[in-house]
Chains A and B, each alone.
Chain A
């Protein structure tokens, strides 16, 4: 840009222009009106530069992604904010934790709302992350080159479960105490390392002060850090793998002249590469090659904002309407009958009631290993980017069988199990 003649500096004018100058110093671009400015908005803003400048239309189709990944992320953001606020009040001590809960519920300003939001967001996150996993599987999005991102995703799912599980103990009420007692007992069924793992997790042979402290540290420090790192990798890899998956016919066919292969020889001078040359991907777009992309500003950002607003609204409404449960203070001598694990582990507990090893360790381990190994076992390149693609009938059938079975077990465990784990009808 051509340099503008600087106006005569006057202290008064500087004062007048102060708000405008501050604003401009932060937001370098005006609201974009042409493609260049739209690009600049994306890559000059710290929070937006994670996004590509242009995004494929397929990635914006609500019916393709349902925004599940974004919702998971926004729930995580809500959880971090409410979690940090809750940390100001919470004390991880068996003698004080429950009293702090009572204070949060009765006395602390917005305490009930914060706790409700944290609780319901946590439950929602487990569910949404799982649905996101299902979406990615059923659209075959784990296939080359997204294999590793799928693995990161599965790890994120497990971390989410563990995160929710460690948070479950913190209120230190009967619900928390017995759910964790049951949950850690399931971990104890693992062969060889089971008992040691259980001991390490609880810091003793039963749930007590040590367990509370360990779960607290895991919940507020260790797991969030790992989760943030894994999310960063997950996002980074989405960019590196060329955005969200899409089917082959989503892009217009471009015929490119065959690039003559240069026979490399040690004697030839070394080839130099520009930065673009190092970035791997299907192709680097230059010039006016026809494609199906649109600018991220405003298409992608509006969609993201919309998702955020909907997520936050939903959590707020649920938090206003339903209070997070708080049961009796812990009584280690009086278990409720039945003592149930958190709902997302009830499928496991239900299976444990048939066989301790297979239900608690065997089947889940096989399921997780299968999930992790999926992109390396299922190498067929076909069926990417389509829901329930015919080319992936076998993989989808196996996956849906596992998922439906687990959901059925969770429903049985939640609603159809009464005292002594005997079958009851909920009505």
Chain B
């Protein structure tokens, strides 16, 4: 016992010795002493030598508060000769920071002067890294958790080995230059400019939002992606999206390394607010949406009217439409099938949809791509030539071919792409709904589509018999309950209340009272109760839909409810024909948009 005690105590002593040695044998002290010794050799006057001899190692630091949050940069503790021009040919870390005309350094009386003075800028503003650290491991950010390792100099242990070497090079620091030098023509940030051009040229802007540049909604917002992620993640997400997140829906673009590098530098420069920006400037950019920038950076393809279809085909493939849509074998798994686009849509609709997807389908998530009108015309011309294959006769085959993608394998409206559609596809298993509608209406929905929704008109593909065949397949496989006799409802033939402002006003009061809970105060179907309801309440501002149904159907839906949905029968809640008439007038009054495509003239 006593021996063990003695050994243990000795051990503690040894450990304390090691700790003290580590504590007082700092590498930075050695570096500073090296500097003092060498500077003494270089010193010309005795006073200089005496001053150097009197200096003792100490922690040097620069506190910078001009650039966002206060930074404490202790880099010059080791890099003590950074501003001493006599050490330009020494070895790191006791070496002069190079002078460079590109950085704006200039010569005055034969001496270099820095454009970016260290006392003013510190080090990490340009270089990143951890300013507070005092050893190379931590201050250079080699530690796997440090979010900002030295840009272009330090790679971390856990970075992917195959492209970690590509992430070195001082050009990566342009991302930090761009924090102040925001001018797109600035020569020092050529890679950022190139990356920005690529951001548009490779259609990144279609899915991703960057404040002031683009408004994509499908992918994540990249406005401050440079603050969140390190170089290796950015590179990985661009080079091979699925390798980092298996569920990523981002397509693999197969870019060249130089292009990926430019994009990485550009993205790394997106850190939310720039140092150079004021709030007012930022707000202005927000207002314009950066439209001029886009116009200046996208290179349009010259369209030859004779080869429109061919060029359109190439554009559709090049511009990665199949990243979302299905076309033949390619399938992005997000948006509807384009294989028979020519039969279910006309050129006017496609062109309008291109120019502004929401103009034909108010809740579409498709980005408004900023291609030229000619390019859109060529792509439209190609799409209308797509006829798909002849529809099979059997109901089951038809369903699997055309309906399954949205309505799902079980017919419950949860098809592979359903979650990206708004309104959701109809749940065909809800017997209450399916059986309360006359067959003629269901056939009509199949053959003529439902305006303002993703349900296209299948009329050119499916004839009356085929439509009935697929409906009977749905009936027997999904709805299951046999059809009942639908009792005719006592509804007025036409709206008993004449259209007038007063009527619409009365309707609005009623609407706010009775309907807004689900349909929302704006009538957009997003009322507070809508969250718990499936199918979702109808968006009554969807003009295409509202204008496609007649007053009789509106009366029927309001007065007798919609079976299989949350819409109750309002007759039971005391609404009279006249009240409903006011409501219908109100709903019509909020959908007074000109029908037909707003770009219809351009296509002719």
Contact = CB atoms under 8 A, between A and B. Distances in A.
Interface in B140-159: 143, 145-147
Nearest to A325: B145
A110 B19 contact: yes
**Which of B69, B132, B138, B146 is most buried by chain A, counting CB atoms within 10 A of its CB?**
B132
Nearest to A95: B69
Given A102-B133, A105-B138, A309-B9, A327 B1 contact: no
Interface string A164-193: 000000000110000000000000000000
A406 to B, nearest CB: 29
Contact of B1 (A102, A302, A313): A302
Contacts of A106: 74, 130, 132-135, 138-139
7 contacts: A102-B138, A107-B59, A110-B19, A303-B1, A309-B9, A320-B19, A327-B145
Contacts of B11: 309, 313
Given A99-B132, A320-B15, 18 more contacts: A102-B130, A102-B132, A103-B132, A105-B138, A106-B74, A106-B132, A109-B23, A113-B23, A302-B1, A302-B2, A303-B1, A309-B9, A313-B12, A313-B15, A316-B12, A320-B18, A328-B147, A329-B147
A66 interface: no
Interface in A329-381: 329, 331, 333-334
A236 interface: no
A105 B132 CA distance: 9
Given A173-B145, A328-B147, A306 B15 contact: no
Interface string B1-35: 11011001101100110110001000000000000
B299 to A, nearest CB: 35
B286 interface: no
Contacts of B9: 309
A213 interface: no
A327 B9 CA distance: 35
Nearest to A317: B15
A326 interface: yes
B138 A309 contact: no
A310 interface: yes
A336 B59 CA distance: 35
Nearest to A303: B1
Contacts of B410: none
A312 B14 CA distance: 13
A306 B132 contact: no
B12 A309 contact: yes
Nearest to A331: B228
B148 to A, nearest CB: 10
A230 B599 CA distance: 79
B590 interface: no
Contact of A306 (B8, B12, B19, B23): B8
Interface residues of A, number: 31
A408 interface: no
A303 B1 CA distance: 8
Given A107-B59, A110-B23, A334-B228, A306 B1 contact: yes
A305 interface: yes
B177 interface: no
Nearest to A337: B245
A238 to B, nearest CB: 22
A421 to B, nearest CB: 15
B450 interface: no
B72 interface: yes
Interface of B: 1-2, 4-5, 8-9, 11-12, 15-16, 18-19, 23, 59, 69, 72, 74, 130, 132-135, 138-139, 143, 145-147, 228
Contacts of A113: 19, 23
A120 to B, nearest CB: 14
Interface string A288-315: 0000000000000011011001101100
B490 to A, nearest CB: 50
A302 B5 CA distance: 8
A305 B5 contact: yes
Nearest to A173: B145
**Which of B69, B145, B147 is most buried by chain A, counting CB atoms within 10 A of its CB?**
B145
Contacts, number: 69
A98 B258 CA distance: 37
Interface of A: 95, 99, 102-103, 105-107, 109-110, 113, 173-174, 302-303, 305-306, 309-310, 312-313, 316-317, 320, 325-329, 331, 333-334
A101 to B, nearest CB: 9
A5 B98 CA distance: 84
A260 B1 CA distance: 47
**Which of A95, A313, A334 is most buried by chain B, counting CB atoms within 10 A of its CB?**
A313
B8 A310 contact: yes
Nearest to A329: B147
A106 B134 CA distance: 5
A326 B2 CA distance: 40
Contacts of B59: 107
A224 B262 CA distance: 55
Nearest to B6: A309
A195 B547 CA distance: 48
Contacts of A107: 59, 74, 132-134
A325 B145 CA distance: 9
**Which of A95, A305, A316 is most buried by chain B, counting CB atoms within 10 A of its CB?**
A316
A106 B137 CA distance: 10
B540 to A, nearest CB: 34
Nearest to B228: A334
**Which of A106, A331, A333 is most buried by chain B, counting CB atoms within 10 A of its CB?**
A106
Contacts of B74: 106-107
A95 B4 CA distance: 48
Nearest to A102: B132
Contacts of A174: 145
B41 to A, nearest CB: 30
Contacts of B145: 173-174, 325-328
**Which of B1, B8, B19, B59 is most buried by chain A, counting CB atoms within 10 A of its CB?**
B8
B313 to A, nearest CB: 39
Given A327-B145, A328-B146, A328-B147, A306 B138 contact: no
Contacts of A328: 145-147
B564 to A, nearest CB: 32
B362 to A, nearest CB: 30
A184 to B, nearest CB: 23
7 closest Cβ pairs, A-B complex: A309-B8, A106-B133, A327-B145, A102-B132, A316-B15, A106-B134, A328-B147
Contacts of A312: 12
Contacts of A305: 5
A74 B519 CA distance: 66
Nearest to B77: A107
Contacts of B1: 302-303, 306
A93 B590 CA distance: 52
A379 to B, nearest CB: 39
Contacts of B138: 102, 105-106
A201 B5 CA distance: 44
Nearest to B130: A102
B467 to A, nearest CB: 42
Nearest to B20: A110
Nearest to A327: B145
A305 B23 CA distance: 28
B71 to A, nearest CB: 10
B133 to A, nearest CB: 4
Nearest to B227: A331
Contacts of A303: 1
A176 to B, nearest CB: 12
Contacts of B147: 328-329
B546 to A, nearest CB: 38
Contacts of A331: 228
A188 to B, nearest CB: 21
B19 A309 contact: no
A317 B132 CA distance: 26
A240 B8 CA distance: 33
A320 B21 CA distance: 12
A259 B162 CA distance: 89
